[in-house]
């Protein structure tokens, strides 16, 4: 019986790689996109829990040398609002490095055309892989984020992010 319950969990843990639809001819520049304000709405689905609404308000500013500091106010379900901060700078064409309040160690961003893949680790052995996909209007991103532990998916975020000026 226990094996029958674990099999679907194991199979869904392997299905973490998706390709979001994007404006294929576009080139996503995360520093330019997030250098002003944006709002995101979506859901967070954590293992053994019901999906919860997620909303994110972001305010970005470019730094000397071309980097970015992004401050986000995050509301997740009925939890109190929390603030986190990203920093990012170009490391090479299509590659960025940075920090994130909740990350342990560096954050890496790889951009290929209209998509970015963001990877980082959090405390307690959690690994995060996030995909952002620029849409045809140039002002909208689709966000798909997966958190895993020991290779098992423990949380998923699906969000639409809109740039505002």
The CATH number covering residue 19 comes to: 2.40.128.20
What domain count does the chain have?
1
For the purposes of burial, counting CB atoms within 10 Å of the CB of 94, is it exposed (0-12), middle (13-18) or buried (19 or more)?
middle
- At 104, phi and psi to the nearest 5? -105, 110
pLDDT for res 18: 84
Tell me which residues of the chain have a pLDDT lower than 70. Answer: 1-16
For the purposes of burial, counting CB atoms within 10 Å of the CB of 105, is it exposed (0-12), middle (13-18) or buried (19 or more)?
exposed
Q: Which domain holds residue 69?
A: 2-164
pLDDT for res 61: 95
pLDDT for res 7: 36
Quick: pLDDT tens for 118-136: 999 999 999 999 999 999 9
pLDDT for res 15: 40
């Amino acid at each position: 019986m226990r094996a029958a319950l674990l099999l679907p969990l194991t199979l869904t843990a392997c299905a973490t790689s998706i390709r979001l639809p994007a404006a294929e001819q576009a080139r996503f520049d995360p520093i330019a996109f997030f250098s002003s304000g944006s709002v995101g709405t979506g859901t967070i689905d954590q293992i053994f829990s019901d999906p919860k609404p997620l909303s994110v308000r972001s305010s970005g500013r470019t730094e000397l040398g071309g980097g970015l500091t992004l401050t986000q106010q995050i509301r997740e379900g009925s939890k109190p609002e929390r603030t986190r901060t990203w920093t990012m700078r170009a490391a090479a064409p299509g590659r960025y490095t940075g920090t994130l309040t909740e990350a342990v160690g560096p954050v890496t961003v790889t951009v290929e055309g209209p998509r970015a893949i963001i990877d980082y680790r959090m405390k307690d052995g959690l690994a995060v892989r996030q995909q952002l996909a620029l849409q045809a209007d140039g002002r909208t991103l689709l966000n798909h984020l997966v958190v895993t532990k020991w290779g098992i998916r423990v949380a998923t975020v699906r969000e639409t992010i809109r740039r505002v000026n």
